[in-house]
Each structure stands twice: as C-alpha cells, then as structure tokens.
Amino acid sequence: MTRPLTCAELEVLLADYLDGALGAEQSAEVETHLAAKILHETASGRHGRLGNPAGIRGWFQRLTAPLLQPRLVMGMALTIFSFSVMARCGVAPRQLRPADMEPAMIWASLDDRAHRAWERSVKFYENLKFVYEIQSRLREWEEQQQEEERSAAASRPIEERRVPAQKPEAQGR
C-alpha cells in the first residue's frame, strides 16, 4: 500500500492531472486526496474542533459571524460613504425616490447641473464685461469734462486767471 499524497505533492501533480497527462495510478491518488475534504472534516469535529471556542464567547462569535463577512462590511462602508457624500452635496436622503437612482435620471441631473453652472459663469462674465464698459465710459466722460474745463480756463482773459492779491491788513497779522 502506498502512502497518501501530501498537499505539496498534490500541487505538483494537479496541473498534470487537469491536463490528463497522469497515469491511472497517479490520477487515482490525486482523486483520493481531493475527495478527502480535509477542511470540512477538521471543522466538523471529527478530528477535534479547531478555533471554535465554547460557552458565551463561542455563542457570540457564531451570532456575529454573518455580520463580519467581507461583503456585508464593505456594503455597509460604501453605504455610509454614499450617505456622507450626499449630505456634503446637500442632498437629504429623504428627498430620494427609487426613480432617482436610475442611471438615466442621475445622468440627466448631472447634465442639468453642468449646464446651469456653465450658464452662470457665462452670465457672470457678461455682467463683468458690462460693468467694465460702464466704468470705462464714465472715466472717458470725466476726462472729457476735465479737458473742457481746462480749455475753458485757458481761453479766459489773463486778468481773470491771476490769483487775487492778499489785502495789506491780512499781511500784518
């Protein structure tokens, strides 16, 4: 009788077994090893319970084991993340309806927001351009008015342009 295969030997023979390159005797040994269900036998208690504590601790672990599955934990984490992003963006969860979660509705909402943002920026730019136009015209009118005042002052007779002399009594004080 031959000894059973070890797991390391099975790893070496497994690729050849799957390709059908093993002989009948080696194929039978591989099949026997694969049929052993070592993990199932170990966990079932046939060879002793490994890692399963008894008592309240064991009961609590068996109770919480489904809750600690990676799928559930990741799903909960993504749900919390999604709600926090929605809260940050100003969307309250009670405003949502199942129809709002359709991809077409989400895309339409994003497209609408993008167009609104673009229109606001264009409006801001045009308003800013209008303000600059008004400021430049006011500046031109002010410069034009100052130029007219200078030319009117230059055309007055010299006597009117002179600075009036101070009175003698004001000088003595």
CA nearest to 106, candidates 98, 84, 94, 83 = 98
Query: How many contiguous H segments (helices) and E segments (strands) does the chain have?
Result: 8, 0
The 10 Å CB-count burial string (b at 16+, else e) for 34-71 is eeeeeeeeeeeeeeeeeeeeeeeeeeeeeeeeeeeeee
The confidence score (pLDDT) of residue 137 equals 94
Q: What is the pLDDT of residues 41-85, one digit of tens each?
A: 555 554 445 556 678 888 888 888 888 888 888 998 999 998 888
The confidence score (pLDDT) of residue 136 equals 93
Token pair, residue 31, equals: 């099949």
The confidence score (pLDDT) of residue 146 equals 93
Cα–Cα distance measured from residue 60 to residue 62, given in angstroms and rounded to the nearest whole number = 5
Q: Using the predicted structure, report yes or no on whether residue 90 has a pLDDT greater than 70.
A: yes
The confidence score (pLDDT) of residue 81 equals 92
The confidence score (pLDDT) of residue 34 equals 82
Ranking 11-15, 95-99, 113-117, 141-145 by mean pLDDT, the lowest is 95-99
The confidence score (pLDDT) of residue 169 equals 63
Instruction: Report the Cα 40 to chain-centroid distance in Å.
Output: 43
User: Percent of the chain having pLDDT more than 70?
Assistant: 77
Q: How many CB atoms lie within 10 A of CB 29?
A: 20
Cα–Cα distance measured from residue 82 to residue 96, given in angstroms and rounded to the nearest whole number = 13
Q: What is the pLDDT of residues 109-137, one digit of tens each?
A: 889 999 999 999 999 988 888 889 999 99
Place of tokens 């609408």: 112
Place of tokens 């007055």: 156
Which residues touch 47 (CB under 8 Å, ≥6 apart)? 41
Domain locations along the chain: 1-52, 53-96, 97-156
Q: Does the pTM of the predicted model rise above 0.75?
A: no
User: What is the chain's mean pLDDT, rounded?
Assistant: 80
